[in-house]
C-alpha cells in the first residue's frame, strides 16, 4: 500500500514517545514534582515555559485492575466513545481516516475563563508493541496523539486559539494466572498505564490560571477515563 505522507513522522514520533514513556520518573531527568496522588495513580509535572507560556510536561502512572492495555487504548483511541469520558471536549471531528489505526482529529475544548477557547488538530495512532523485554509476556499497547497542520484547517483563523499537544498513552498488561489452572478472569488481569502529555496553549494565558486548570483537570481526566473503561468492559469478554 502507498504510504501516507504523515507515516514517516508518525512512526518516528511513536518510537520516540514510547521510549520516553517507558523511562521511570527518576530517569526522565530532574525537576519532576509529584502533584497528585489517588490510590495507585501518581501524577507528576515539570514547570516549563516557552516564550513565557506554560508548557508543563505531565507524566502520570497508574495501575488499574480488571482491564487490559488493548482495552484502555481501544477506548482512548476510538472517536465513538470520546464524548462519554472527555469532559472538557466541546466538539470533535474526524478530519481524515488515514488508516484503521490512524485518524486525524479536530477538537474544540470548553473555554477556560479568562483564557480564550482552545482547539487542537492532531493525528492519533494506535499500535501494539512487541514486549521486547519479556518475549512471552503480554504485549504493550500505545496511542500517540500529536498536533499537525491541516491546510484545510489553518490555525488561529476563527475565535479559537490553536494549542499544540503531544500525548502518549502507554499500557502494559499484567496477567496473574489462577493457581488452580482455571480460565483467566478479569480478577487475574491489571494494566499499568503511563500517560505523558505536553500541551502548548498556543496563545498567552495566565500561568497561574493554566497551572490551576492542569492541577484540577488532569487527575479528573485520568480517573474518569479509567473508570469509564472499567465500566465499559466489566461484562464483556477480555480483549487481550
Ligand atoms: C489551555 C489548554 C486547555 C486544554 C486543551 C486541550 C487539552 C487536552 C487535549 C487532548 C488530550 S488527549 O489526551 O489527547 C485526549 C483527547 O482529547 C488531553 C488534553 C488540555 C487542556 C488543558 C486544560 C487542561 C486539561 C487537562 C486534561 C484534560 C482536559 N484539559
105 touches ligand 1 (CB under 6 Å): no
Q: Give the Å distance between the CA of 79 and the centre of ligand 1.
A: 15
Task: Give the predicted TM-score (pTM) of the model.
Answer: 0.96
Distance between CA atoms of residues 191 and 173, nearest Å: 4
Each residue's pLDDT tens digit, 162-194: 999 999 999 999 999 999 999 999 999 999 999
Closest ligand 1 atom to 115 CA: 1
Q: Average pLDDT of 28-49?
A: 93
Q: What is the DSSP letter of 20?
A: H
For residue 72, what pLDDT is reported? 98
Side-chain half-sphere exposure of 15, counting CA atoms within 13 A: 5
Query: Do residues 95 and 116 lie in contact, with contact meaning Cβ atoms separated by under 8 Å?
Result: no
Each residue's pLDDT tens digit, 61-119: 999 999 999 999 999 999 999 999 999 999 999 999 999 999 999 999 999 888 899 99
Q: Is the ipTM of this complex over 0.85?
A: yes
Look at ligand 1, atom 6, and give the residue with the nearest C-alpha. Answer: 109
Amino acid at each position: 500500500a502507498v504510504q501516507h505522507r504523515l507515516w514517516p513522522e508518525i512512526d518516528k514520533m511513536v518510537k520516540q514517545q514510547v521510549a520516553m514513556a517507558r523511562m521511570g520518573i527518576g530517569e526522565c531527568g530532574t525537576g519532576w514534582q509529584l502533584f497528585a496522588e489517588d490510590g495507585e495513580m501518581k501524577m507528576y509535572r515539570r514547570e516549563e515555559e516557552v516564550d513565557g507560556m506554560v508548557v508543563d510536561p505531565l507524566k502520570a502512572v497508574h495501575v488499574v485492575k480488571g482491564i487490559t492495555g488493548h482495552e484502555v487504548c481501544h477506548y482512548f483511541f476510538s472517536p465513538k466513545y470520546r464524548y462519554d469520558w472527555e469532559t472538557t471536549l466541546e466538539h470533535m471531528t474526524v478530519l481524515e481516516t488515514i488508516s484503521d489505526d490512524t485518524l486525524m482529529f479536530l477538537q474544540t475544548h470548553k473555554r477556560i475563563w479568562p483564557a480564550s477557547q482552545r482547539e487542537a488538530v492532531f493525528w492519533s495512532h494506535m499500535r501494539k508493541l512487541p514486549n521486547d523485554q519479556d518475549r512471552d509476556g503480554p504485549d504493550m499497547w500505545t496511542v500517540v496523539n500529536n498536533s499537525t497542520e491541516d491546510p484545510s484547517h489553518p490555525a488561529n483563523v476563527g475565535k479559537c486559539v490553536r494549542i499544540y499537544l503531544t500525548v502518549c498513552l502507554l499500557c502494559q498488561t499484567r496477567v496473574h494466572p489462577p493457581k488452580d489452572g482455571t480460565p483467566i478472569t478479569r480478577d487475574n488481569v491489571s494494566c499499568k498505564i503511563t500517560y505523558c502529555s505536553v500541551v502548548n496553549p498556543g496563545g498567552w494565558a495566565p500561568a497561574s490560571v493554566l497551572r490551576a486548570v492542569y492541577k484540577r483537570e488532569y487527575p479528573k481526566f485520568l480517573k474518569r477515563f479509567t473508570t469509564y473503561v472499567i465500566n465499559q468492559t466489566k461484562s464483556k469478554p477480555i480483549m487481550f
